[in-house]
Amino acid sequence: MTLAEAILLTVITASTPLLLAAIGELVVERSGVLNLGVEGMMVMGAATGVATAIVTGSSLLGVIAAILAGMALAALFAGLTLGLAANQVAAGLSLTIFGLGLSGVIGAPFVGVQRAGVGKIEVPLLADIPVLGPILFRQDPFVYASFALVFAVAWFLNRSRAGLILRACGENPVSAHALGYPVLRIRLYAVLFGGGCAGLGGAYLSLVHTPFWTSGMTAGRGWIALAIVVFASWLPWRAAAGAYLFGGLTILQLHAQGAGVRVPSQLLAALPYLLTVVALVAIMAVRGRGAGGPQALGQTFVPDR
């Protein structure tokens, strides 16, 4: 394997959890709900996934448990914001703090306990293609799932009637409700989907990326996923590009440090985050404030009784 191939493989590894969390949050925000608890749902998925996998000896059960853990926190968020009409920003921040604390309790008995990672799936014939074959067609199931989710979400939002209804709930929930659509139920399904994707992204971290548990192992990836959604202007294909851009920057700064680049390591480590902020500012300055985002994003909706 050449150095370029090794770098590309590590970029995919670094980008996959970001893409999984971002594509779920994109659907949530297109429904008009702003869930800032992605970090909490991811870390809960990581803790629950690795704990279940170690106890049961099954990575599949670990993945299922991680998805359910993310959905459980998402359901708590939905109960507060959709059922009780609580402030979405405050509820999302509380969810992150709660998830970080609870994950530490769940994962405490498994700190440093290593287990075998999830195996890779080789696509016949395609995996033998020079250069691209080993990179694209000899990957773990999470990578294939992230690609499939991007395709499915893009089709759902742009080609399906259900996707059009979900987008209508995000643009003008009052009008959608007047037409007879169950806005709160649709938003609930979107929030649960986003929680499941965040939990899946967390499971990738603890079962594939670094197959063991350590407290706070998400390291801010949930916040980056939130930024990627805005960076992508709420479009699935751009979200995929944004996730791989940030993942690529993360890996490149590690290689730069290893190569002995005479720049403070702290600055190199902060570079991907800094460039993400710069990109967000540039996009919003060019496209205008709030351009491309759902008009009712973050607004509480209470149907007429």
60 occurs within a structural domain: yes
Evaluate if pTM is beyond 0.95: no
120 occurs within a structural domain: no
129 occurs within a structural domain: no
88 occurs within a structural domain: yes
Q: How far apart are CA 295 and CA 280, in angstroms?
A: 18
295 occurs within a structural domain: no
Give the distance between the most distant pair of CA atoms in the chain.
Answer: 65
So what's the pLDDT on residue 158?
94
Q: How far apart are CA 110 and CA 215, in angstroms?
A: 10
Q: Taking a C-beta distance cutoff of 8 angstroms, is the pair 80, 25 a contact?
A: no
Domain count, the chain: 1
Q: How far apart are CA 111 and CA 124, in angstroms?
A: 37
Q: Classify each residue of 4-33 as buried b or exposed e, where b means 16 or more C-beta atoms within 10 Å of its C-beta.
A: eeeebbbbbbbbbbbbbbbbbbbbbbbbbb
157 occurs within a structural domain: yes
**Which token pair is 297?**
């994003």
137 occurs within a structural domain: no
pLDDT digit string (tens) for the chain, length 305 residues: 577 777 888 889 999 999 999 999 999 999 999 999 999 999 999 999 999 999 998 999 999 999 999 999 999 999 999 999 999 999 999 999 999 999 999 999 998 787 777 778 888 877 778 777 878 888 889 999 999 999 999 999 999 999 999 999 999 999 999 999 999 999 999 999 999 999 999 999 999 988 888 888 998 899 889 989 988 889 999 999 989 988 888 787 776 666 666 667 677 667 667 766 776 666 556 545 545 678 899 889 988 75
R_g of the chain, CA atoms, integer Å: 19
So what's the pLDDT on residue 282?
61
39 occurs within a structural domain: yes
Domain, as residue range, for 247: 3-114+142-287
* CATH number for the domain that contains residue 239: 1.10.3470
